[in-house]
Structure 1
Amino acid sequence: MKPSRFPCTLTPENYDTACDLAGSALLRRIPAASTILQITEGGAWKAFSTGVYLAADFENIIRYTGSAIRDGSVGDRVQEHVLSGRAAQWTRLMVVPLAADTEENLVRRIEGRIGAVLRPIDTKRLPHFGRPR
């Protein structure tokens, strides 16, 4: 039997770690968490077309990390999760906004790096986070 690992929580320190893992692609730090309604109805993330998002539950445990590269916004991707029912346990979300011109393979590698460090409990698989070949 594998030993259980402690889940990570969505803390300012873990958010800073996620931003650090984005490297030079980081647009800026947004250290405030948002709710689903603030994102989907209030447009809290409408200025960001590219980024990695972190979702936590009512106990502040990081449940999911994902990424988006959109003509619209990262919030549009969160809305897709809401409509599919995947976001039912998400209560707080944070975004690591990336420069809009960040290449897709780099966005996915950043998502993989962040997920490998923060270990979201509901993410089934993460993108490969190594250097391109």
Structure 2
Amino acid sequence: MKRSAYTLTPENYGTACDLAGSALLRRVPAASTVLDVTEGGAWNEFSTGVYIAADFENVIRYIGSAIRDGSVGDRVQEHVLRGRAARWTRLMLVPLAPDTEEALVRRIEGRIGTVLRPLDAMRLPTLGAPRRPASRRASR
């Protein structure tokens, strides 16, 4: 069964920002291309955030996060260099306060991913504490 695809709309971007809660630095509703981010420095002022990548049909393909000494764009550049960003044509950023703790950044990424369900995400961070494996029942 094929799941429905979510698109990168202003409403979905707003939802992503809302899910960041008090860690949200500010809204940046303008979309950027991969080239704008990696070569043009569109996100140079942001060191921490959750990015949302969409394809040419505006379908959300990937959601990731970054905590950098440099910029979030450096993380996007890593995806490009590894060939993982081949389908990405449009990017949006949920910038977070630079002092946001890593665990919270990952939880926000997980929240956004759970709601927007990117097609190419193999795994997303958990929303809470790590789960312990369930104990096995003894066979009778």
Query: TM-score band, normalised by the shorter chain?
Result: over 0.9
For 1:72, the aligned partner's letter is G
Show the counterpart of 1:5: 3
Identity percentage over the alignment?
Answer: 79
- After superposition, residues 1-133 of structure 1 pair within 5 angstroms as 3-130=1-128
Alpha-carbon displacement from aligned partner over 1:57-116 (angstroms, at most 9, x marks no partner): 000000000000000000000000000000000000000000000000000000000000
Classify the secondary structure of the residue corresponding to 1:18. helix
Q: Which moved more, 1:4-13 or 1:48-57?
A: 4-13
Gaps of 5+ in 2: 132-140
User: Which consecutive segments of 4 or more residues in structure 1 shift more than 6 A?
Assistant: none
Gaps of 5+ in 1: none
How big is the shift at 1:132? 8.1
TM score, norm. by length of structure 1:
0.96
How big is the shift at 1:31? 0.3
- Structure 1 pair 67–42 and aligned structure 2 pair: CA distance change class (3 A): same
For 1:65, the aligned partner's letter is I
TM score, norm. by length of structure 2:
0.91
For 1:109, the aligned partner's letter is R
Q: CA RMSD in A?
A: 1.3
Counterpart CA distance in 1 for 2:124 and 2:97 is 21
Counterpart CA distance in 1 for 2:2 and 2:19 is 25
Counterpart CA distance in 1 for 2:34 and 2:55 is 11
